[in-house]
Structure 1
Amino acid sequence: MRNIINKLTLGLALTLAVVSCHDDLDQFPTDPDSFTEQDVFANIDEAKGALAKLYASLALTGQQGPAGQGDISGIDEGASQYTRLLFYLNELTTDHSVVGWGDAGVPDLHNLTWSSSNDFTEAMYYRLGQEVSFCNSFISNATNLTDPEAQTFIAEARFLRAYAYYNLIDLYANVPLTTIVSTELPLQSDSSELFSFVESELLEIQDLLADSNEYGRVDKVAAWALLSRLYLNSESFTGVDKYAECVTFSNNVIGSSYAIHSNYDDLFLADNNSNGAQNEFIFTANFDGVQSTTYGGTTFLIHASIGGTMDPFASGVNGGWQGLRTTKALVNKFDSSVTARNGNGNPISWSDNRAMFYTDGQAFEITTIANTFTDGYAVTKFKNINSDGSGANDSSGEFADTDIPLIRLAEIYLNYAEAAVRGGGGDLNTAVSLVNQLRARAYGNNSGNISISDLSLDFILNERSRELYWEGFRRTDLIRFNQFTTGSYLWPFKGGASQGKSVEAYRDLFPLPTNVILINPNLEQNPGY
C-alpha cells in the first residue's frame, strides 16, 4: 500500500469532487495539477490513483501533508486523521489511556462528559462521511471502465465503504445510508438496517476481491475478517446473536494464508510492512515519514506518549508531546506476569512482553491528569525504529513510518474464542489453542498458557486488553461486555471521578454533530443529547 499512497502523494494527488448534503463534506480540487474525474477514470491505471485516495483517506488528512488544504474544517488538521480519532473515541474514553492536554473537548473524552458539539465526535462523523462519499463516487465512475481489473477495484471500494459504515454503527448507530452521490437530504437508518447493509456488502464482495493483494490493499480474507468482527458485535449493535456466524468467518480467516508473526514487538515498528509482521496484518493504515506525512497516525501515537524522563530517540522520534499515558487498570491486567516491583510495591517489569510500559519517574497512581505527564505509566508500544535498530525514513525524527494494523489475525483468534464461549459453536479446545499461541508469543514459552477451565468471558475480555490495547478496540469491547457506562467496572477518572463512577447509558453512543441535525430535518439526535 505504501506504493499506492506514494503514487498519490508524489504527484497524482486526487480530490474526488463529490456532492454532499453538508458543506463540511464537500470536496473540490484545490491543486491546479489535480485531475478531474474525467481524467482520473480515463483508464485503469489512472483509476488506481483514485483508489489510492480511498485508502489514503484513512491515513492522511488533506491535499498537502502534514497540514494545509485539510479535508475537514473546524478542527486542527492532525487531530482530524482517522486513526487518531479512533484512538480518541475508542481508547481515550476507557481505562487504556488518559491525556494531559487541556484542548477543548479532550478532557471530556476520558471523563465521559462530552457534549453534542465535541470537536472529535464531530470530526469522526465527517471523516467517515467523507470516506463514504469518496467510495460512492469511485464506484459510480469506475463502473464505466471495461478493464476486468475495475471489478476488483470496485469491490475494494465497497469494502472500504462497508468498513466506514461498520465504524458509523459502532460509534453513532443511527446515521443515513447513502450508496450514490446525490443532492437529496438522506433519511436516517437505524443500526439494524445499517448492519444488514454492511453484512450483505461483505458477503457479496468476498468472491469479487482478490485471493491475495499487494500490501495495504484488501483481499477476500479482509471481508471475512470484518464479518467476524461485525458478527461478534451483532448482539450489541442490533440485539440479535450471531456468534455462530462469527465462528464460521473467523474459521475462514484462521484457515487462510495469514499467520501469527513470531515477535510481538515487530508488529509496531517502522518496518512492520516488511519485517514479517505484514503476514499477520489483514488491513492496515499505512504511513511513510517522507512521502505521506501527518500529525495523526503513529506520528501522534509515538510523540504524544513521550514525556518525563523518556528519551524520544529510543522511540525514533525527535521529541515528546507529553500527553498520553495509561491508567493502573490496564497495567493491572498484567498482574500474573509481574517479575519485579519497586519500593512502593508497584510493578516495574513483566514476563509478558506485551506489557510495554515506561515506569522510571512515572507514578503508578494518577492524581492529576492535566499537565502532569509523570502521573500514570507511559506506553512504549509503537516506535519509529526498524526491527534491526536502524532509523526510519524521516531522518529528522518528526514523522513516523510505522503502519497501524486495523485488522490483524490475533484479533480474529480472540473473536473465535469469545464467540465459542458465548455459545456460537466451534470448539473450546481450539479456542484455548488459539489463545495459547498468542500467549506463547507474549511470554516466549508456554509458561503463560491457559487450560480450558481458564477460558471464561472475563479472561477473554482481559486478554483482548493485553493483546490489543491502543489499537482502537477497547470501548467497543467494554460495551459488548456491558462494562463501559455501568458501575460493574470502574477505572481511574471514569465519569470524571478519581476512583471512577458509572455514567448514563446513553453514552454507549456518541451524538450526531449538531450542525448535521440542524441542516437535515430527517435526522433525530441520539437519545440523551
Structure 2
Amino acid sequence: MKIFRYKNIIPAVALAVASLGMTSCVGDLDVDNINPQQVATPDYDAVLNKVYANMVLTGQTGPAGNGDLDDIDEGTSSMIRQLWNANELTTDEAECIWGDAGIPEFNHNSWSDNHPMMKALYYRLYFGITLANYYLDQTVGSTDAGISTKRAEARFMRALYYSYLMDLYGNVPFTTKTSTESAPQASRTKIFRFVQDELLEVSGEKGGSTEVLSDAKVYNGNENGYGRANKAAAWLLLARNYLNSGVYTGTEKNDSAKIYAGKVIDSPYKLSTEASGSYTGFQKLFMGDNDTNGAQNEIILPAIHDGDKTQTWGGCLFLIASTTDADVLKDYPTGTSENWGGNHARKQFVQKFFPSSEPAAGTPADVSAEAKDDRALFYTKGHTESISKETDFKSGFAYVKFINRHSDGTNPKNSQFVDVDFPMMRVAEAYLTYAEADARLNGNKCTADGLAKVNALRERAHAATLSSCTLDNLCDEWSREFAYEGRRRMDLIRFGKFGGQSDYTWEWMGGTKNGTPFDKHFNIFPIPNSDINANTTGLKQNPGY
C-alpha cells in the first residue's frame, strides 16, 4: 500500500464513531454508492490512509468546505497547526500578533476549559483514534496481503495520537473500540502504559507479537513505503515517552529512553548533512523537496504535503505564511504567495544564538552566518529584537525555518499551497534524547558518549562544539535544533521551566512585558468543557480548571 499524496475518504463504509461524549460530532466520512445494484466493498487501505492523513488534512474537499469535524471551524481543526500553537505560543520561542479567540490566551498562559483551539485539537486527535479503532475492528481476521503490518501501523498511529493526548490533557477518555458508548476516563499513567506496551509489541520488542511494523528503511517520496511508520518510528516514540516518563507517571525511565534512542541512531536513518547550493543540510529538512533532497534520510515519519493534492490552511502552509510578511518575501522568497505576518520570535529564543548582542539587520542567510550556526534562521531587517508591541509583526524578529522552495532550483507544484512534508519525527530527536538521558543518569552532565551526540548536531549546523554539556545546555540545545517544530512546551515542562516556577521567564509570559510566572496547573491543558458535559461516564476536569 502506498500513502497517497491526496486525501482518501472511506468509501461506502458505515463508520461507527467511538463516542467520546462529543457535542462536536465527527463529520460524515461515508460516500454514497450511486449504483443501487452494486454491493459496496470497503476499501480498508483508504481508511488507513485517512489515519495518516489526519495529521495534515482537515476535510474531504480541499482546504475548506467539507470538514471532518462538525461545529468546529475547519481551518482551526488542523492537527499540526494546533499542536504548533499549543506548544510554541505558550513558550519562550514564539508569540502571535493575531487576536483570534484563543491566541491571546496562548500568548499569555491564561487559557480555560472553553479554549476553542484546544477543543479543536482534542477532537482532531480523537478523530484519528476513531479511524484507527475502526480500521482495527474491521480488519480482524482479514487475510489480505500485508494485513499484519498494516494493522501494526494503525496501532502505532493510535499510540501516537494517544501520546499527544497524554502529554497535552493528562487524564483522558480511553477506548480501543468503535462504540456508541461514552469512553471512560483513564489516568495519565494508564495511557502511558498502554502506549508503551503497544509500541513494544508493534516494534517486535515483545516476543510473540504477530502484528509488527516493517524494518527501519529509508524511502524517498517517489517510493512505496515513504510516509509509513516502521520500527524506527516506534523506537523514537518509545524513547520520547520514556524521556518524559517522570512528568507523565512520576517515575523516570532514562535508561529505557537511552536504549531506544540508541536503536534509532544505529538505524539506517542518518542526519541530513549535505548542502545543495546555498541551502545547508539542516535547511533542506524544511523545504519543498524534503522527500527527495536527502532530508528523507533523517525524517523518520513525515506528514505528507502536496501543493496540488493536499491543500490545507494548516500544516506547513501555516508554518510558512504565519512567520512571514510581504517585506520578508521581497528579500527572502519562500515559494508560496501566502504571507500572513502573525508569528514572531520572542527575545529569549533569539538569545539562544546571540546571548550578548543583537544580530545585524539581514536575511536568514545573513543572520545564520553571523551566528555561526545554520539554525539561526532569523529575518531581522526592519524588525526589533524585543516585542514591545504585541500587535506588530515587526516588533520581534521573524524566524523563517520552513520554506516551499526546492533545493535543486525547480519550482514548487503550486504557487500558493506547499509541498513541504512536516517532520513529525526525525533522527536528530534521538541524538538529543540520548544525550539528555545520559546526563540525567550521570549527575546531570553528559558523559563523553552523550556529549558526542550533542556535538554531532552542532557540527551539522556548523556551530562550535562543546567541551561539556549540562542539563541547562541541553534545554537550550533542544530549542536551537527543534524551534518552531511544535514541541517546546513539552521540553520546558520536563526541565522544570514552565508553569509553577519563577527562575526562568520570557517576554509576555503570563501577560506582562518582562514576564510573570504562572501556576503549575497550566502544565496540563483542560479537557474541553463540552466533553465534560456530554460524556456520560463522569469525566473529572484536570485540577485548577
Under a length normalisation based on structure 2, what TM-score does the superposition of the two structures give?
Answer: 0.89
Q: Which residue of 2 aligns with 1:527?
A: 543
1:461 maps to 475
Give the superposed CA RMSD: 2.4
Q: Where does residue 28 of structure 2 map in the other structure?
A: 28
Please name the residue that 2:515 is paired with: 500
Q: Deviations over 1:156-179 (max 9, x none)?
A: 000000000100110001001100
CA distance in 2 between partners of 1:34 and 1:233 (Å): 50
How far 1:183 moved relative to its partner? 1.7
1:281 maps to 2:323 = no
- After TM superposition, list the pairs within 5 Å mapping 1:426-465 onto structure 2: 428-443=447-462, 448-451=464-467, 454-465=468-479
Distance in 1, Cα, partners of 2:34 & 2:247: 43
SS in 1 for 2:423: strand
Q: Secondary structure of 1:309's partner?
A: helix
1:245–1:424 CA contact under 8 A, matched in 2: no
Q: Aligned with 2:267: secondary structure?
A: coil
Note the C-alpha offset of 1:30.
5.4
Q: Is the CA contact (8 Å cut-off) linking 1:260 and 1:279 kept in structure 2?
A: yes
Residue from 252, 259, 278 that aligns with 1:248: 259
Structure 1 CA distance for aligned equivalents of residues 202 and 288 of structure 2: 32
Picking from 328, 348, 353, the partner of 2:347 is 328
Deviation at 1:389, TM superposition (A): 2.8
CA distance in 1, matches of 2:30, 2:308: 22
Deviation at residue 33 of structure 1 after TM alignment: 5.8
Given that 1:305 and 1:378 are in contact with CA atoms closer than 8 Å, whether structure 2 keeps it comes out as yes
Match of 1:49 in 2: 46
One-letter amino acid of the structure 2 residue matched with residue 270 of structure 1: G
SS in 2 for 1:325: strand
* 3-state SS of 1:282 partner: strand
- 8 Å contact from structure 1 (residues 143, 150) kept in 2: no
1:315 equivalent in structure 2: 334
* TM-superposed deviation, 1:105: 1.1
The one of 57, 64, 67 equivalent to 1:67 is: 64
The corresponding residue for 2:231 is: 220
2:400 pairs with 364, 377, 380, which one? Answer: 380
Find the aligned partners of 2:182 and 2:356 in 1 and give their Cα distance: 55
Task: Write the deviation string for residues 298-357 of structure 1: whole angstroms up to 9, x where unpaired.
Answer: 1111111112621167101113111011111110001269895469xxx95321010000
- Offset, 1:222: 0.8
Cα 1:23–1:141 change in 2 (3 A) is: farther
Preserved contact between residue 216 and residue 267 of structure 2 (Cα < 8 Å): no
* 2:5 aligned counterpart, secondary structure: helix
Amino acid paired to 1:413: Y
Residue 8 of structure 1 deviates from its aligned partner by: 3.9
* 1:254-301 deviation digits (Å, cap 9, x = unpaired): 111110111101000000001010110111211111011100011111
Structure 1 residue 200 displacement after superposition: 0.4
Instruction: Tell me, yes or no, if structure 1 residue 517 matches structure 2 residue 532.
Output: yes
1:210 aligned onto 2:225: no
Secondary structure at the aligned position of 2:301 is classed as strand
Q: Distance in 1 between matches of 2:380 and 2:14?
A: 47
1:380: how far off? 1.0
Give, as a single letter, the amino acid of the residue that structure 2 aligns with 1:417: A
Alpha-carbon separation, structure 2, partners of 1:243 and 1:35: 57
More displaced, 423-432 or 66-75? 423-432
Distance 2:534 2:126 in 1: 15
Aligned CA distance change for structure 1 residues 14 and 110 (closer, same or farther; 3 Å): farther
Q: What stretches of structure 1 of length at least 5 have no aligned partner?
A: none
1:75 to partner: Cα distance: 3.4
After TM superposition, the structure 1 = structure 2 runs for residues 16-415 of structure 1, keeping only pairs within 5 Å, are: 17-21=15-19, 22-29=22-29, 31-32=31-32, 39=40, 41=42, 46-207=43-204, 208-212=212-216, 214-262=225-273, 263-307=281-325, 309-311=327-329, 314-335=333-354, 341=360, 348=367, 349-370=370-391, 372-394=392-414, 397-415=415-433
Deviations along 1:180-222, one digit per CA (max 9) or x if unpaired, are: 1112222211110000000100011112000146110010111
State the aligned residue count.
Answer: 511
Q: Secondary structure at the match of 1:432?
A: helix
Give distance in 2, aligned partners of 1:281 and 1:95.
Answer: 25
Mean Cα deviation higher: 324-333 or 47-56: 47-56
Letter in 2 for 1:124: L
Which moved further from structure 2: 416-425 or 93-102?
416-425
**1:77 corresponds to which letter in structure 2?**
E
Aligned to 2:495: 481
CA distance in 1 between counterparts of 2:310 and 2:430 reads: 29
Q: Residue 356 of structure 1 contacts residue 379 of structure 1 at CA under 8 Å; is this kept in 2?
A: yes
Q: Percent identity?
A: 39
* C-alpha deviation, 1:47, in angstroms: 2.4
Alignment TM-score, normalising by the size of structure 1: 0.92
Greater share of helix: 1
Measure how far apart 1:147 and its partner are.
2.4
Structure 1's 34 and 80: CA in aligned 2 closer, same or farther, altered over 3 A? farther
What is the identity, as a one-letter code, of the residue corresponding to 2:91? Answer: T
Partners of 2:157 and 2:130 in 1: CA distance: 11
Letter in 2 for 1:67: A
Contact 2:26–2:69 (8 Å) recurs in 1: no
Aligned residues of 1:14 and 1:34 also touching (Cα < 8 A):
no
Q: What is the CA–CA distance in structure 1 between the aligned matches of 2:313 and 2:320, rounded to whole Å?
A: 10
Distance 1:281 1:487, change over 3 A: same
Q: 1:156 to 1:39 in 2, by over 3 A?
A: farther
Partners of 1:40 and 1:49 within 8 A in 2: no
User: Secondary structure, in 3 states, of the residue corresponding to 1:417?
Assistant: helix
